[in-house]
Structures are given as C-alpha cells and as structure tokens.
Amino acid sequence: MPGKLKARIVAGRHLPVMDRASDLTDAFVEVKFGNTTFKTDVCPKSLNPQWNSEWFKFEVDDEDLQDEPLQVTVLDHDTYSANDAIGKVYIDIDPLLCSEAASVISGWFPIYDTIHGIRGEINVLVKVELFNDLNRFRQSSCGVKFFCTTSIPRCYRAAMVHGFVEELVVNEDPEYQWIDRIRTPRASNEARQRLISLMSGELQRKIGLKVLEMGGNAVVGYLQCFDLEGESGLVVRAIGTACTLDKLSSGSAPNTNTHTHPNTAPASNACNSPSKDGKESPLAHGCRSTHNSPVHSACSTQRLSQNFSVSVPTLIFTGMGSGGSGGKDAGPLKTLLRQQTQTALEQREFPFFTLTSFPPGFLVHVGGVVSARSVKLLDRIHNPDEPETRDAWWEEIRQEIKSHAKALGCHAVVGYSESTSICEEVCILSASGTAAILNPRFMREGCLDIGIPDHRFEEPSPPSCGFCHIPYDELNMPFPAQLTYCYHCRRQKVPDVLFTTIDLPQEASVTGKGCLIQARLCRLKKKAQGEVNATAISNLLPFMEYELHTQLMNKLKMRSMNALFGLHIQISIGENMLLGLASATGVYLTALPAPGGIQIAGKTPGDLSNEHHISTIQKRINDTIAKNKELYQINPPELTEELVGSPIPEPRQRSRLFRSHSESSDEVSELDLSHGKKDAFVLEIDDTDAVEDIHSLLTDAPPPTGFYSCNTEVMPGINDWTSAVQMFTSVRVIRLSNANLTNQGLNKIFTELCENLLKSFYFKLRSMIPCCLCHLNFTVAVPEEELIQVAVTAVAMTFDKDQTQEKLADKPITKGTGETEEQLQFPLELCADSSLPNTQPPGSKISGVPESTNVSSRVSSLERSSPLPDGRSRSLRSTRSFGGSSVTVVKMTPLSFLPGTRIIKYLGIINMFFIRETTSLREEGGVSGFLHSFIAEVFAMVRAHVAALGGNAVVSYSMKECVFMENPNKNQAQCLINVSGDAVICVRETDQEPTLPANTGQSCTSAAEGTT
C-alpha cells in the first residue's frame, strides 16, 4: 500500500440552477479514485454550497496514482428521480508524486460538463502521502519529473543527457464501441476523456520506468500525441529526452564562464581547396527526406513495393572509424571528439533528442534537416496490450531518420519530433529533426561539470559559428552544396544555406533580425479508398515536399537570409486534397555567406514583350530584396580582401532559382532532387505556374511596422523583452465553395488564409507595438471534404524599441524588467573576434529559493509588493481590487520562459484533454461561438489547475490537438482539444536583481525575503 490519497471538498460557487421551481440547486459531490467512491452530504437549496467535507482517504498503489485521475463529480440531488449531473473535474495528481513539485492541490476548479461547458466552480483540496517503496520490480515511476519544455528547464542543470525515450499505448476508442449507440453523448464523451486521461497516465508511467532504467530522473521535451484512428482505435504516444537534472540551489551558483576559446586554431585547414563548384539546389541544404510507403492492407500485411526515396541515397558515411574523412578539415581534435561522442551514442538505439535548445557547448555541428514520412493503412487494433504494429511503424521511420543523419556525417538528431495525419483509414507518419554532432561530455557519467577546463580542447571552433561548420566530409558530400570558409572564424567550411528544426543557439552570431517564413501548398487528389488512396498519397508526397522546399528557399532568398531555424513541415491529408505547410524562422547567420539574389529567365529569348515583362519582374524582385534587407536590418559586415587564403565567393554572385515541373512526374521520379547536373535554377516565366509562384513570392506581405514574427522561442536580434505577454489561440476554417478548383486556385486560397490570419493577429495586437509574435505554431487540417482548418497558437511579447536599436549600448540596470538572460543572448554580434565575452548559460539567473510550504501566498505577496507596473504589465497583477477576488492571474506562454520573470519552481506537467459537444449549435452562437467559448473554457481550466498547484504561469504551453466536427443541419458540433505545458511559479525580476551572476544566489534570496 504505497500511497494514501486524501481529498476534501470545501465549497462550490456559481452553480447552475438545477431546480426550475425554486431557482436553486441541491448539490452534493462524488469523489472517485479507481473503484472507490465517496460522497459528501447534500447541501440543500444553494447555488454557493459549503460542504466542508471530511478528508476522503484512498489507499492505493502508486501505480494507480500515476495512471488514474481523481474524479470529482458534482450532482443535483433529486428525491424522486435520478440525480442530475452538474459536471465533473478531473484532477491529475501526478504533480503531487514528485517531492520537488507541488505539495498540495488546493483551489477553485471549473466544473465542466461536456455538453454545457463550465457550470460553476468547486473548491477542492488534495494531498498525497507516499510511502517509500523498495520493491525492485515496481511498476511505478513516481518521482520522475516531466517537462514539456524543449530545453533544460531554467532552474535545473543537466548533469547528464541520457537520450531518447518513447512509448505508445493503444486502446479501442469508446466513441466507436457498440455501447456508444445506446449511451448518451455525455456518457460517451466522459468515457473518452477518462480513457485518454488513463492512457496518458499509463504512458507517462511507462516512460518514467524507462528513464529510471537509464539512470535518469527526468524527461525533458516530453511530447505526447493522440492519434484518433477512428474505427481502428486510439493511440496515445509520447517521445522525450531522458536526463539527469540537478536542481540549482541558491548555494551552487551556476557556472557561467565555461567557454573561453583558445585563439590557437588548428591550422591544418589553411590550404584546403575550395569546395567543388556544386550547383545549389533547394533540397540539398542539409535536407534529406524520404517517403517510404509500405502500405498495409486491411486484411494482410502485404507491402506495396513503392519506395520513394527523395534524397540522394548513395552516401558514404563520414567520420568515425572510416579513415580519411573527419580529420581533414578539423584535424585530430575533431576526430577525437567524434570518437568520444560516437561511443557515447553508439549504445543508444536512437540517438535522438527532442530538445530544441541546448546548454552551451552541447551542440558541436549541425548537418541539416532530416525527415521521413511513411503512408500507412490503418486496421483495427485487435489487442490493446500488444501495440506492436504501431511500434514497428515508428521504428521503421526512426531507423530511416537515423540513417539520414549518418549520411550527413552526424551521429545524433536534435530537435526531433513525430507527428501523424489521419484521414479515414490512411495515415501519414512523419518524423523530422536536425542531424547534429554533439559534445559527448553530457552523455558520459562522471563528466558532469560543464565548467571543467580540460574540456576546452573539444571545441576547436568558437560557439558563435561552430555549429554551422559542416559535420560531413567535403570530399564525400552527401549532396552537392557550395562550401565556403566560415565567414566568422575563417577556419572551417560552412554550407551556403542551413536548415534546422532547432531554436537558434544562444551563442550564435546573427546579423539583423529574423522573420517567419512559410511555404504553403495544396495538392488536389482524386478521392479513393484503401490501397489506391494510400498509393496516390505517397505518389504526391515527394512533389509536395520538393515544392515546399523550393518555396522556402526562394522566400529565404527574397529576405536575403541564409538559414532557417525551427523548421516544421506539416503535411495533412483530406479526402480530396493534401495540404502542406512549412514554417520556419529565417535569419542571416553571420558565419554563412551572403545569399545571392534571384534571377529570372524567360524560356523564349528574343521575344521583346516577354523580355520586358521579365525585366520588370526582375526589378520588382530586386527591389523587394533590397527593401527586406533594410527591414530586417541585414547589413553584414563588408569582408575585406586581406582575409584571403580562403576563397570568398563573389558577394554579388547570383544563384539562379529553380522551379520544378512538378506536374510532369517523370522528371522528378529520377530521384534526383538536387538537380546537380542540370542547368538548374531557371525560373521559367512563360509557365503560368511560374508566374503564380513569383507573384506569391512578391505578395508575401512583411509584418506592419512595429511587428516582428517568428516561430522559434525568441526573435533573433531582439533582446530587450518587456514583461507584457499575450498568448492566444486562433482557429479559422474556410469552406471551398467552388468544386472545380485547380491546384493554383487552391494554393492561392490557402496562402491567403494564412496571410490573413497573420494580418488579423497584427491588427488585434496593435496596442502592444513594438511587439513580436513568437513561437507562431500553425496547424492545418482538412476536417471535411471542402473545409480547410488552420489553428494557430502563439505569444505576443513586447520589447523595448530604443534599446534594441542601440543593441549593445549599456543597458540601464534600473529597468526592473528585461534584465534577463535574453539581453545577453546575442552579445557576440559586435565582437566578432574570437576573444569573446561569454554568454550566460540559461541557468545562471536562476537560483533555488528555500522550499516553503506556503509558496502560493508568497507569490501573491510578491506580486502585490512589486513596483507598480506600467500599463502593459498590468496583467501580472492579481485581481484584488474588487473586494475578495480569489482568482490568481495565470500567465500562459508557448515559450520556455516569461520575460521579466524568473522561474523558481516547476510544479509538474499539465496535460489535459477535453471534449465539448453541443446539440444547440445555433443557440450557442454558431460554430464560432461554440469554439470560442470552448477554447476560453480550456484556458480557464488550465489556469485553474495551475493556480491550484500554487503556480502562476504555464510555460511551453501548446495546443496539440484541435479536432472540430460540425453538422449544422442537425444543429450539432463536437470538438476535442488537447493541451499541455509546464506549470511553474515565477517571480518578477526585481530592481534588486543582481547584475552579476556570481552572487545570484544570495541576492535572489534576499529579493524574495524583501518582498514577502
């Protein structure tokens, strides 16, 4: 009996009227855990009942504690008929199982009903007493911490990064069970909510076990997803990165000064010849992807033999044991490094990391994006206890990713993520990440301290450019690329363009600002069933991927940038079309060469009118590029010729742009996406599609003045965040009225949809200018034949305009906010020499504050006593002005931090799944009214749970699923939403905040005391 769960029901408020006659309610509460149920007394005739119940005690296994949620049901007592349910609250007690997280759950929870939404609130107290369990064969994994955050959480230090953990569990979907025909929609929804809650608990527990086996104590970058496979079942799967985390206490000031870089560079590369004059190609920039479509038919496991390998498959592995590769450009140090890392990673089946930003020094080199997709036919999951098929599918894909990474000369994949898109019985599985070489010291036992000086030699290149240096051997390049010497250190080779799925490394040196770059694509497909359908889809995939990359590349050049971060490509299937959306943040990496312009060529030279046309377009393109350069402040330092010895490509060199003839499939099916041998990059203007494409290039409107946007954590080039944040979710669905749409027509509509969404955001948030939309996360879906759905979650953050312009000018310490590490994030811009001042590791400002039992009260007092904020930061204040409001303000952000604050404690993961259904759609304001209130309700429930844990913010928040179905004729609609994030306590950076990280510990404590 390793645990005792105790719950107490205190009171309710704002209950709905359940008895029309008296306009009152006779409410009581059922508290259920596992199979045990307790009831409170009935509190007669009150809409604000006070139950003040005793402590209900459940004696349970810790395994159950991890799997099961506490279920609180509020009912209306009825003497003569059945009691009416008012609503339910599911409380995930996982945060209580970890000693470092929350100690008690106490607060007002919205009472939720899947048909009526929120119906009043209930005040609940929950505690857990855990007994030590010495059983070696235990099934529980209490105590393993989970974080959605895809970096090392801010008040921890990574002692060791163990690596990839994954798990999936399957079950029948209650919505498709026979019993669903006879039960009410409410019962069915509740069964589903409960099942998913159970399954995610189980999943988390199983992953926890794996982490314990590996010797870790936490999962970072935990990504859990649901696949609603319909008839064939329900899959809940998760991936994450197992780590051993040490909590930073106030005593152990974090290491700040780890990377003083030796100026002595390995000189071995002085006479390296320039790279071969490879033609640029859209897919060649470190992007490899394959489409593997073994289609499983419904009744057998017969495989279709189509195999779409889009990338160049013949590759010689570089580095490691195979002689004469890695050593060439980097000298023995690199080889040594590789060997060390290799051994550290070799034991791992999948050297994948779901992290997107890393402790300084962790990331050594980045190869490029690797991705794999595979089309599958779903069939019923017959035995929920053996999810082997699904496991095998993912295994396949991961193997593929792994081999792609190897081909890029990399031994690891970072920024790794997996996703699915399902339509009827066809499912696309996708995985993508960034091939990389990592520093092995984080993966070896006994080498925990990042400050140990003898590791210096492992970094032969400065951190501001080192990650750009190619990891592969230039003589055996995995794809034709144009290499030059690094524009930053001049010592090693860099590619001309770099695509990655990770966040921009903190220490990276960037010129100007970044911006959101999106490629959007629609492809019609014939309606089909089963295998035919799957084949059609897999045939389309390579073209889509290719075109998306072409678009990305062109748009990148239009903005005069040379690298993409946070690249995320989503391909979504519908019955009659495929949607592709690639989002990334473009930046100009100082280390990489300046991108050439875009040149347009006509097919029929000599035609005068045509030539004229071309020259006008060419002029417009050139003008746009020039304008963008100004807009994003891209003024790379002019390189002087005395730095010769290394070949500098002509700065004015133009790369020509290639458009694929995607319609003529024979050309591309040659599997050569690199177009290395062709006279590539000719943009043929007499092709009507090409005209469309150019127009779409030119019509991509830049954000209005005062706005920036990116899909990474923060905007490269903006450092002075002020404390105002506004997280938002927006969903838009359009109906395609015209049945005879062409691909071009669709593309235009889809592009407009995305652009208009962005315009709406800018307009709505105009009061926050100057402001940046960060972590813009677009999700597309085709919920029905003629519908396109786009859901966006992002956060708008204000910044201090004056200071960004001064860049590194002295930052007044008097500003209460903005003195976070962000300010120091890119300090290398102006000091491009190798004698660099050091970047601050992310943990340096964070110090543990002594554990306190009344954390929540202290936080609120902190907030109250903090200096009166300016108008923008009002939202951080608690709502206290109206006598006795008990609502804590909870901030939410998809980022891993809140500007102007320090996270002092992580309280546990928030992972919630809600279903909302209505049979009175019109009365609820139509589909928009219905979804608007549902999203607002989801936010409210997340905030309430966080507040009950004693927190005041959610970081790394994301809406992973938003499935919306409607039937306006029947006046019905249903929506499923899954959200997750990390509940935290954060405190305002106060004026007393120390400026030197060395004494962070003391001063932070005193700051906390001073405000208590």
Partner 1 sequence: MSVELDVFVGNTTIMDEEVYQLWLDGYTVNDAVKVRMEGGVMEECEASADVLLSDTMDQYRTFQMCERLLHSPTKLANQLLFQITPHRQAVLIERYYAFDDAFVREVLGKKLSKGTKKDLDDIGAKTGVTLKSCRRQFDNFKRVFKVVEELKGPLVENIRQHFLLSDKLARDYAAIVFFANNRFETGKRKLQYLTFQDFAFCAGQLINNWTVGAVDNMVEDMDVDLDKEFLQELKELKILIADKDLLDQHKSLVCTALRGKTKAFTEMEANFKNLSRGLVNIAAKLTNTKDVRDFFIDLVEKFIEPCRSDRWTAADMRLYLTHYTNSAHILDTFKHQVVWDRYMGVIKSCIFKMYHD
Binding site for partner 1 (CB under 8 A): 13-14, 108, 110, 118, 121, 701, 704, 726-738, 749, 756, 759-766, 787, 789, 874-875, 877, 879-887, 889-892, 925, 927-929, 931-933, 935-937, 939-940, 943-944, 964
The answer to whether residues 953 and 946 touch, using CB atoms and an 8 Å cutoff, is yes
Nearer to partner 1, 523 or 845 (CB): 523
SS (H, E, C) 49-62: CECCCCCEEEEECH
Structure tokens at 36: 């045990």
| Closest approach of partner 1 to the CB of residue 986, in Å | 15
Nearer to partner 1, 307 or 933 (CB): 933
Nearer to partner 1, 485 or 761 (CB): 761
| Closest approach of partner 1 to the CB of residue 863, in Å | 12
Q: Hunting for tokens 């009691």 — which residue is that?
A: 83
Structure tokens at 562: 């040379």
The answer to whether residues 873 and 726 touch, using CB atoms and an 8 Å cutoff, is no
Nearer to partner 1, 489 or 898 (CB): 898
Task: Give one DSSP letter per residue of 210-221, joined into a string.
Answer: HHHHHT--EEEE
179 by Cβ neighbours in 10 Å (0-12 / 13-18 / 19+) ranks as exposed
Q: Measured at the alpha carbon of residue 421, what is the angle toward residues 418 and 426, in degrees to the nearest 5? A: 125
| Closest approach of partner 1 to the CB of residue 518, in Å | 18
Secondary structure of residue 113 in the 3-state scheme: strand
CA 710, CA 701: separation in Å to the nearest integer?
14
CA 23, CA 732: separation in Å to the nearest integer?
39
Nearer to partner 1, 850 or 871 (CB): 871
User: Which one-letter amino acid corresponds to residue 97?
Assistant: L
Structure tokens at 359: 């402790």
CA 482, CA 492: separation in Å to the nearest integer?
13
For residue 311, count other CB atoms closer than 10 A to its CB. Answer: 27
Nearer to partner 1, 539 or 933 (CB): 933
| CA end-to-end distance (rounded Å), the chain | 39
Q: Hunting for tokens 């929870």 — which residue is that?
A: 109
Nearer to partner 1, 111 or 567 (CB): 111
| Closest approach of partner 1 to the CB of residue 728, in Å | 4
| Closest approach of partner 1 to the CB of residue 13, in Å | 7
Instruction: Report in angstroms the alpha-carbon separations of 833 from 48, 243, 487, 513, 634.
Output: 67, 34, 11, 21, 19
| Closest approach of partner 1 to the CB of residue 726, in Å | 5
Nearer to partner 1, 143 or 926 (CB): 926
| Closest approach of partner 1 to the CB of residue 972, in Å | 14
The answer to whether residues 69 and 91 touch, using CB atoms and an 8 Å cutoff, is yes
The H or E element containing residue 934 is: helix 926-948
CA 330, CA 925: separation in Å to the nearest integer?
64
| Closest approach of partner 1 to the CB of residue 984, in Å | 15
Secondary structure of residue 332 in the 3-state scheme: helix
Nearer to partner 1, 105 or 287 (CB): 105
| Closest approach of partner 1 to the CB of residue 743, in Å | 15
The answer to whether residues 719 and 785 touch, using CB atoms and an 8 Å cutoff, is no
Max CA pair span of the chain: 95
Rg (CA), the chain: 28
| DSSP letter assigned to residue 40 | P
Dihedral sign, Cα of residue 72, residue 74, residue 78, residue 83: negative
185 upstream amide cis, omega within 30 of 0: no
996 by Cβ neighbours in 10 Å (0-12 / 13-18 / 19+) ranks as exposed
| Closest approach of partner 1 to the CB of residue 928, in Å | 5
Nearer to partner 1, 589 or 771 (CB): 771
Nearer to partner 1, 95 or 703 (CB): 703
Nearer to partner 1, 123 or 840 (CB): 123
Nearer to partner 1, 161 or 790 (CB): 790
Structure tokens at 746: 């669709």
Dihedral sign, Cα of residue 916, residue 920, residue 921, residue 924: negative
| Closest approach of partner 1 to the CB of residue 872, in Å | 10
Q: Hunting for tokens 């607060």 — which residue is that?
A: 107
Nearer to partner 1, 413 or 746 (CB): 746
| Closest approach of partner 1 to the CB of residue 882, in Å | 4
| Closest approach of partner 1 to the CB of residue 631, in Å | 14
| Closest approach of partner 1 to the CB of residue 93, in Å | 20
Nearer to partner 1, 262 or 925 (CB): 925
Which residue, among 576, 446, 487, has the nearest Cα to 524 in the 3D structure? Answer: 576
Buried (b) or exposed (e) across 942-952, using 16+ Cβ within 10 A? bbbbbbbbbbb
| Closest approach of partner 1 to the CB of residue 909, in Å | 18
The H or E element containing residue 207 is: helix 185-214
**Edge-to-edge strands of the sheet including 3-13?**
36-39, 27-33, 70-76, 84-91, 105-113, 117-130, 3-13, 56-60
Cβ partners under 8 Å of residue 819, min gap 6:
811, 813, 989, 993, 995
Nearer to partner 1, 328 or 932 (CB): 932
Alpha helices in 431-489 (DSSP H): 463-466
CA 176, CA 926: separation in Å to the nearest integer?
26
Nearer to partner 1, 828 or 876 (CB): 876
Nearer to partner 1, 458 or 786 (CB): 786
